[in-house]
Structure formats: C-alpha cells, structure tokens
Homo-oligomer: A and B are copies of this chain.
C-alpha cells in the first residue's frame, strides 16, 4: 500500500515541471512498457495492479486499482505505471560525421516525433537529433507513438544550425523543388533534416542544407505529414545504398 505522500508524488508527475525537477518520465501503456522492457529499459519504479501481466524481469510494486486510479495520468487508468529516469545526452563534436542521422527541426506534434523515432529505428539510423523546440521526447505521447523505438534509438537535443554547421556529412533537406528522391545517391554518411508541420525547414537550418530532395507529387495535397515524408526519404536512401552495395545490410 502506498502512503498518501507517495500517491501525491506519483500523481504530481503529470505536470511536466515536476517530471523535470525529479528527472523522471512516466509510461502507462502496457504494450509500450513491455516493449521498453524488452528493449532493455531499466525503470526506476514500476507500479502495477494484480491484473498486469508482468513481463519477465519486471518486479512491480503491487498496488490496488483504486491506488492506480489515484496516481494515473490517464483519463482511463491502465494496469501499470512505470517510471524511468530522463537521460539527456549532449551531442559530442564530430558525432554527425559518420553514419545516418535524422534531424528534427521543430516537430511539435508528439505523435509525429514518436513516429519519426520509429522510422529512424526501422531504417537503422544511428541517431536522431531534436531541435530544442520539438515536442518533449519524454512525454507519454511521444513514447507511446514510438512503440518502443524510444528505447532503441540514440537521441540528442541540440541547436540544429550549430550542429549542422560542423556536421562533416551531407545535409539533406526535404522540400519542394529539389532532386527527385528516387535519384538519391548512396550516402553512407548523411543527415536527413525534417522541417516542422507548419512552416517546413527553418531559414537558419536551410543555410546548411547541401542537397534538397523532393518526393514526387501526383495529386492535390499540399504537403505530406512529417513522419510520412521522412519515411519516404529514408526508404529511398536505404534502397540507394543497398542497390549500390555500399553497405551490406
């Protein structure tokens, strides 16, 4: 049984400022908790009702459904409440020079940020760099939409213009009026920058784009969802690499 203090502390984590102060994030979607555990996440604390089908290795503190209802951040509480430690890595110098990077320039929709992590994971990108104005990487919406990729993909938060200025690798920007994405060269090292849903790539970032790619459009839509656009670029880049044999996969 949890004390009143424990209950209010866990409930208070629904406020971002309290999570930041404690350096903790919360996940309550049972499928995502299981995915994160499978990906090697070591949670600081896990609370679960007897109904939770605990995956191997998880040692939850058992609580009642009533207690769960009191700590939950969701309108409809689930059977598990996992608390993890926020670890924010600083981008080391030279990090972007090797391998594939997905850089997010002001992606504010948490669902899109999660989808983009999943795309980076599927296409085995080496890292994702988020500009500081992206949605909070440690929010439940981002973590849920990433479907466990949150735990597998290396992430950094950094000012993109400075990071791209010293990238040491080609910087690909997705835009109208660039080269057809199907003619992408096989690049072993590259940074793919995805602009925000509303305004596209920021001017500060455009200065450092060395290659614009365009997804051919056939119909009436003015733009594609950020996750969708990124996925098409990543798919074509990986295909160019596979076709040229520049990297066995």
Contact = CB atoms under 8 A, between A and B. Distances in A.
A14 interface: no
A127 to B, nearest CB: 12
B124 A218 contact: yes
Nearest to A233: B235
A232 interface: yes
Contacts of A217: 122-123
B216 A239 contact: yes
Interface in A166-181: 181
A2 interface: no
Contacts of A152: 219-221
Contact of A227 (B122, B225, B242): B225
A182 B181 CA distance: 13
A28 interface: no
A124 B219 contact: yes
Nearest to A238: B218
A38 to B, nearest CB: 10
A222 interface: yes
18 contacts: A35-B222, A39-B220, A115-B225, A118-B228, A119-B225, A119-B228, A121-B219, A121-B220, A123-B217, A124-B218, A145-B225, A152-B219, A216-B235, A216-B239, A218-B238, A228-B228, A228-B231, A231-B232
